[in-house]
Amino acid sequence: MKTEKEKMIAGEHYNAGDAILVKDRRRAKNLLHRLNVIEYRITKKAREIIQELIPNAGANLYIEPPFHCDYGYNINCGDNVYFNVNCVVLDCAPVHIGSNVFFAPNVQLYTATHPLEAELRKTLESALPITIGDDCWIGGNTVICPGITIGKGCVIGAGSVVTKNIPENSLAVGNPAKVIRKLNQE
């Protein structure tokens, strides 16, 4: 039988009140408190906290505090990833971020979702993974919804709400985000 954590990562309904998940979130919150309140500036100690919080990151992960996430261990980053201030990553499911990806202020990545049925919603939730390809720029105040894939080389305009997958080398803007043109085409 799967643990609640295994169900969560697999995208199945799970109980977020499970003791192991509560402990994991508490650990992340303690690290985030140290990063966002005690260190706040990017120092050697802040980099150590980020590495402990997000152990599955390539070289040069830079996070400008404050930053928020649920677990940290479900965030997988390539090299040279930059999060500007006030970014939120609800990483109940895996979040895969390629290399050379830049997040402007207030970007929010939501893997968490909830059942539409009210009775189920009282006790269960679920999550769907998010994937962002290499060489993307995500504009300020963008929301990326559960289960979304953004292809490599994309730019997502500020204030966008991404509710559908975005093909590679696209400029997408709006609410809901729509592709308005291809990029990097000769």
Matching residue, tokens 């400029």: 171
Q: Give the other-Cβ count within 10 Å of 23's Cβ.
A: 10
Half-sphere exposure in the Cβ direction for 127 (13 Å, CA): 26
Name the DSSP letter for residue 166: B
Q: What is the set of active-site residues? A: 114
Contact of 157 with 139, CB cutoff 8 Å = yes
Say if residue 125 is exposed, middle or buried (CB neighbours under 10 Å; 0-12, 13-18, 19+). Answer: middle
Cα 123 to chain center, whole Å? 23
98: Cβ contacts below 8 Å, ≥ 6 apart: 78, 132, 133, 134, 135, 136, 152
Which residue in 80, 107, 126 sits closest to 177, CA to CA?
107
